[in-house]
Each structure stands twice: as C-alpha cells, then as structure tokens.
Amino acid sequence: MRWTRDAARAVAIACAAVGLGCAGELEPPVPAAHPDDPTPRRGGVLHLASFADMRVIDPANIADGLVPRVNQAIFAGLVDYDGSGRVVPDLAERWEVLDGGRRYRFFLRAGVRFHDGEELTADDVVRSMERALHPSAPNPYASFYESIVGFAEIQDKKSEALAGVTAEGKYVVDVRLKDVDATFLPALGLQVLRPVCKSAGRRYSDTWQPCGAGPFKLLPGGWDKGRQITLVRHDGYFRPGLPYLDAISWSFLVNTATQRFKFETGALDLLQDFRQAELLRFQRDPRWKPLGEYEAERQVGAESMNTELAPFDNVEIRRAVAAAIDRDHIRLIRPGNLRAAGLPIPPAVLGANPSLPGQRYDLGAALEHMKKAGYPYDPATGRGGYPHPIRYVIYRQGLSEYTVQLLAQDLAKIGLRLDVQVVNYPSYLAITHRRGKAQMTSAGWQQDYPDPSDFLDPLFHSRAINDEDSNNVAFYKNPRLDALLDRARRELDPPTRQRLYDEAQGIVVDEAPWAFTHYYRWYDAHQAYVRGYKPHPVWTHNVSFSWLDRGPSAQAGLAPRGPSTVLGLLGGRRGAP
C-alpha cells in the first residue's frame, strides 16, 4: 500500500502547486529619469506587446483589431481626430464645405514626403481613395463612403474611376457627395482612405510593402509575421521635430502573464492585456495606480430582443426586460472592465449625452410592465409569467457566456424563462444576423468612428434590416426613429444634430429593442518614464508622439528567480492568494 500513499502525496503536491495562485507583490515601477522636466527627449525604442496577431497592413484592408494601432503610426490622413474625438486637419491644412455640404474641398500641405521620399500630392490622394474603394480591395469598410459621387458605379464595376473625387491642382482635392452627409467627415478620419505611396499602385495587392506619410515607417524585413514588428522614425515627417522616438516595436501573440512580468520589470512600456485579478492588483497598488488610466468607453453590451418574434413584438415585455436587469451585478463579472450601462451610445463617444435618462434596474416597474403585457407574474408564488421558454443564442467562450447566466436569474424573477443555445462564433453571427431565427441574443457594438450615427443607424434604423446579413439584429422598425436618424444624418449644425440624436436615444431607451447592460472599457498602465502618453478616444495605444525618459540604469530584463521560490513552492505556502 506504500505506493498509493506516494501517489496520493504526489497528487497533493501537484494540486498545492496549482492552488498557490500567483504570489501577490508587484515590483516597484521603474522611475522616470527626469520626472520634473517637461521638455521632450528624443531617442529610444518603445516596446509594446499584444495577445493577438495582425495579418495585413493596408488602409484598404483593416481586418484585425490590432492593425489600426500600427496603421496610425505608418499612415497619415487628410484629417484625424483630436483628444476629444473631433475631426481636425492633418495632411490637409484646412478644408471648405461647399454647395451646402455636398462638396468638400481639401487644401493639402505642400512638401509632405512619403516614406520613400516622394512628395505627396493631390493625385496620390485621389489614387489612394480609388484604390481603397475599388471592388478588388477586400475592404470591410468601403460602404462608409457610399455617399461619395461615383461610389456605386465603381463598386458595380461600371466605372474604373471614382467620379466624385478629383484633383483640382497639385494641392487641392475635391470630394463631391450625392447628398449632404454629416457622417462623411467623422468617417474620413478613419484610416481607410489615407494616402499610400506610389508603390501601392492603383489596385490592392496582398504583397505590397506598407508605405505612407505617417510619423513612422516600416523598413523591408521589419515585420516578422506572427512575432514582431518594428517601425522606425520617418525623418521626413511633415511635423518638424516629431516624432521623438527612434522606433516603436510590437510583439505579437504574447501571453498575458508574460506581458505582465515583462511590464513589471520594464521590458514592456505599456500594458493593456490584463487578466482580471492582475488588473485589480495594479489598480490597488499605490505605486502603480497613478500610472494607469481607463481608456474611453467605446463599446456597449446589451441583450437584443427580436421585435418581430413573440414575445418581444410586445413593447411591454421588452420594457420589463430592460427594467429587470440588475446592471450592477453584471458589472461584477469583470469589475475592472465593465461599467453599468443604460444608453445606446457610450459616454465617451463624441455626441453622447450621459445626462439623458437611461434604462435602469427597477424590479417593481418590470413586474408592472409584465402585467401590462398580459403576463402578470407573482414572485411570491412563482405563478404566471410568459408560459414558453425564450430561445437565447450566444457563442462559446465569450463574456456573454457569463452575462446570460445572470440574465437568466434576473428574468426568472419576472416570469421569463430562457432556453440558452450555445453555438460557436461563426454560427452565432450567421444565426443572429438572419431574420426570424433567434428570439433573443447577446449583442454589442463598438465605435467605428466617433459619431452617434455609427451606433444608431446600423443597429436600429429599419434600413439596416436584411434577411441575411442584418446588422439590426433586433429587427426593430420605427418610422419616427428612421425619420429622426435620416434628418440628423443630413444636419450639419452640431447643436441641432445633438438634439435629434438625444431624441432618438430617448426612443431606443423607451422602446427597448435592446436592453443595455454594460460599457466595456480598457485599462492602460504605462511606465513612469513613458511621457506624453494619453489614452485617445479613437486610437488605442497611440504612442506616435510620446517620448521616453528612462535612466541608463533601468535596463530591461526579467528578474531571475532564486532557490527560495523553489522552497516556497515545495513548502506549500497557503493562505490568501
């Protein structure tokens, strides 16, 4: 019987090793060398890492979440967003709005150099736009620019040129629109239409070496796919003296735990991919707390109710659901990243209005709505409610796998039963975008460009309803809302526009095609010696104009672990993790 005891002991040791958890203390942050000197210093390489990977770098094919971070350093556009998400000049010095909003005239800076040394002129701007909107490009965002004259023709292959975009001289570009479109400028701030070097040619190709007019350039061999990319300073960048950094380097497919270790010891300069427990630990540590900041919330999470299918064709049931969800509990699934939500547009998106009354938890009101809907429910006896189970579709291994379990508990309290159907992600997309399939699904939206139309139009306008690829997953149709959204889209006066969108949000909140549950926000921690870095409302990890103030002693490297750790492990340190 001896060996059974040995085996048992081995198992016990193994379990103890796993059960120890991660030892608590964080290393102190690497200090800045001259914390009181605000003058930017030149030089140095900034190191970033990500859990994910990136496949193609090309403004005409932005397919991965990581690409915009790299694109932002390589490509400069006619316009960009400032720190509050407003559109500001970049390659264009200024622009004029003509013909009552049907024509935009951009005046380029003279003498801007691409990375290959060639001058950037109006022809390059026209060529790049045409290249990105030509149907041979696998551009997932082309339709953002459908209001440009000639867009339909080029997409339908009736024309090879984009008629509405013309060079009016060496430094002047005209863009004509079919109709007044207030979303044109906000969408133009994206990277999709940014000018690319002549080497890119007139048509998209998968083998092009990225080249633009941004502050950093990619040298041949600088991108080791699936592992690492290094961008070096573009000395001909049009803003004098910028950028300060010699280079930026991203490592890909790096485990969150590895990132954390590297960040702690100064081998990484910014950190965003936290595990939940780690994030809370960094936020609690007084030495690290001042070095962290939340990014603007750009993502809203919700429960979508299919308004074409029973019981959600009844607005009272939808209102009941919206009032039954305890959003503070949802937040506790990931307290470091979630915030309770009640409005469709996250507070940090330009044009949001957090002061509007949103959906909120009120169990009494929810029961009242159930009664009005004709399905009164008595919580004391558990009698009544909607008699059939509601088919709820989610995908595997996402946040929604947890939110639905809380939702089911909340809805049970008002007499609604969920029949949860878990599918894999591709099937989830197919099922939820198809008409008449799912009664209820977990849904969400992430800002493409900072404007209320980016949230409300694709999600709740009846034009976004399709039999197959419907972005309006609630299949919600309301002529009053449609009219408001159409008017707001054509309204160029900001205060009037804001009023229209406020009213539109009011309708969505009240009619509740979606019950909003949470905003997702990322937490950024940076090193004390990373200066001039501020989270941006559109671009994640926009470090193009940051600078490093790092003492010579603070060398990167992992602290070696000595025998004491080994003994600690075998000794089975228990207690609080």
Could you say which residues in the range 183-212 bind other proteins, by CB under 8 A? 206-207
- The residue within the footprint of other proteins, chosen from 39, 100, 220, 576 (CB under 8 A), is 576
**Minimum distance of other proteins from residue 407's CB (angstroms):** 11
Question: Interface with other proteins by CB under 8 A: which range of 136-144, 367-375, 521-529, 532-540?
Answer: 136-144
**Minimum distance of other proteins from residue 16's CB (angstroms):** 8
Question: Interface with other proteins by CB under 8 A: which range of 3-11, 105-113, 122-130, 308-316?
Answer: 3-11
| Number of chain residues interacting with other proteins (CB under 8 A) | 91
Residues 6+ apart with CB under 8 A from 414: 320, 321, 324, 363, 366, 367, 370, 377, 379, 385
Phi, psi of 261 (to 5 degrees): -60, -45
Which conformational region is residue 557 in: left (phi greater than 0), alpha (psi within -120 to 50 degrees), or beta?
left
Among residue numbers 483 through 502, which ones bind other proteins (CB under 8 A)? Answer: none
Phi, psi of 81 (to 5 degrees): -105, 145
153 sits near other proteins (criterion: CB under 8 A): no
232 sits near other proteins (criterion: CB under 8 A): no
**Minimum distance of other proteins from residue 112's CB (angstroms):** 29
Question: Interface with other proteins by CB under 8 A: which range of 92-100, 185-193, 276-284, 313-321?
Answer: 276-284
Among residue numbers 531 through 550, which ones bind other proteins (CB under 8 A)? Answer: none
275 sits near other proteins (criterion: CB under 8 A): yes
Among residue numbers 245 through 274, which ones bind other proteins (CB under 8 A)? Answer: 253-255, 257-258, 261
Q: Nearer to other proteins by C-beta: 228 or 498?
A: 228
Closest CA to 295 of 50, 525, 65: 525
21 sits near other proteins (criterion: CB under 8 A): yes
**DSSP collapsed to 3 states, 361-388:** CCHHHHHHHHHHHCCCEECCCCEECCCC
H or E, element range at 216:
strand 216-224
- The residue within the footprint of other proteins, chosen from 28, 140, 354, 357 (CB under 8 A), is 140
396 sits near other proteins (criterion: CB under 8 A): yes
Alpha-carbon span 270 to 524, nearest angstrom? 7
242 sits near other proteins (criterion: CB under 8 A): no
Q: Nearer to other proteins by C-beta: 276 or 496?
A: 276
Q: Nearer to other proteins by C-beta: 76 or 142?
A: 142
Is the CB of residue 278 less than 8 Å from the CB of residue 21?
Answer: no
- The residue within the footprint of other proteins, chosen from 41, 103, 105, 329 (CB under 8 A), is 329
Residues 6+ apart with CB under 8 A from 123: 167
**Residue 219 has which token pair?**
């040298």
556 sits near other proteins (criterion: CB under 8 A): no
- The residue within the footprint of other proteins, chosen from 170, 202, 284, 287 (CB under 8 A), is 284
Residues 6+ apart with CB under 8 A from 49: 250, 251, 252, 254, 258, 259, 262, 268, 271, 273
Torsion on CA atoms 48, 49, 54, 56, rounded to nearest 10 = 20
- The residue within the footprint of other proteins, chosen from 56, 97, 172, 365 (CB under 8 A), is 56
- The residue within the footprint of other proteins, chosen from 27, 28, 43, 55 (CB under 8 A), is 55
Among residue numbers 408 through 467, which ones bind other proteins (CB under 8 A)? Answer: 408-409, 420-427, 429-431, 433, 445-446, 448, 458, 466
219 sits near other proteins (criterion: CB under 8 A): no
Helix 494-511 / helix 453-460 crossing angle, nearest 10 deg: 40
DSSP 525-543: EE-TTEES----SSSTT--
- Could you tell me how many residues make up the chain? 577
